[in-house]
Structure 1
Amino acid sequence: MAMNYPKIGQTVEIHSYKHNSNIHRIWQETTILDVSNGVVIGANHKTLVMESDGRTWYTREPAVCYFFSEYWFNVLCMLRKDGVYFYCNLSSPFVYDQKTIKYIDYDLDIKVYPNLKYDILDVEEYRRHGEEMGYSSEVKEIINQQLLLLKEMIESKKGPFAPGFAEYWYDIYKKRLIKR
């Protein structure tokens, strides 16, 4: 079956689900900047975010979003005054459906600092949800493999971790906004 992709310049929502199919979080508006080789790159700034419990908030800083159709993680590059921070979600590969990028969030996250040092977050939440929602041994094995792959990508400065990557795409995003 052919994979569906958004179009460059299109504005989409991002929906994060949990393994039990419940909605976890919705980002209202992300502009698609590039689509190639199983990767979708988008960006947003001050976008409305809705939590599963009904709370809402706006993102504070510009973010470049990097989604893979084959890897079990996605990466948010947040541009702050003191550098680019990365928030990496271990998740299912994305699907694109009804103007929405959708994925299952598997709890484990890696927060990466501008110096590329990182912390693995939410290990206990991953363990708890794995039991509560019955993550299969296959899913757990994939998550473990993808966690290693993601760490390798960070340490080798590949993909969204390449020097200047986030700044380059944010610049394209700003130019696109000016043209609107």
Structure 2
Amino acid sequence: MSDLTHTQRSLHAQTSQRLARLHQLGFADRPDEEFDRFSSALARDSGVPGALAMVNAISDRQFFTGVHLPSAEELGSVAEAEALAAAVGRVMPLEHGYCPETMDRTKPLTLPDVCMKPDFAGNEVVDLVGIRVYMGVRLIDKEMEIPLMTICVVGRERRPMKDGRRMLDYIKQRGAQAQYLLDQRISALS
């Protein structure tokens, strides 16, 4: 395990516990209509043109319990929308994207231009999906005291650096809303 990054080691240490909880909640391997609607609103209200948004259940992989992909109308091309849907889907390896990194942070991660940070510019989603913007925050299972999921918005056009503060405020606000939804689901188990 020595060749794993710090983030991968942290995630790996809690994988079995997190996966069991995600299965218990029904988030490990099936879409959730409420989180799909949440993702659509998250993308729509983000101010990021052609945004993708996800509610991401993270275990030994990433599973998008909620997802919003831009329409052909938003992208200006049916072929582009179909290619994006094929590239993203509902499942992604842990090595792709920035949500695994977000799980290891106590604060949101906002990147108005992922290419400005060498650690993030080399991520496979930059080429696979064309991601240039990321904002995400983790959701905590307060009973188990572990990070369980993330919400995120990604875009394919970089934002001006001055948008960083607005992005941070937005994802924090939406993170609080998503945390409430998660807390409600956890409470319903009791």
Pair in the same fold by TM > 0.5 = no
Q: Choose between structure 1 and 2 for higher RCO, CA contacts under 8 A separated by at least 6 residues.
A: 2
Query: Higher strand share goes to which structure?
Result: 1
For this structure pair, what is the TM-score category when the shorter chain's length is used for normalisation?
0.3 to 0.5
**TM-score after normalising by structure 1:** 0.34
**TM-score after normalising by structure 2:** 0.33
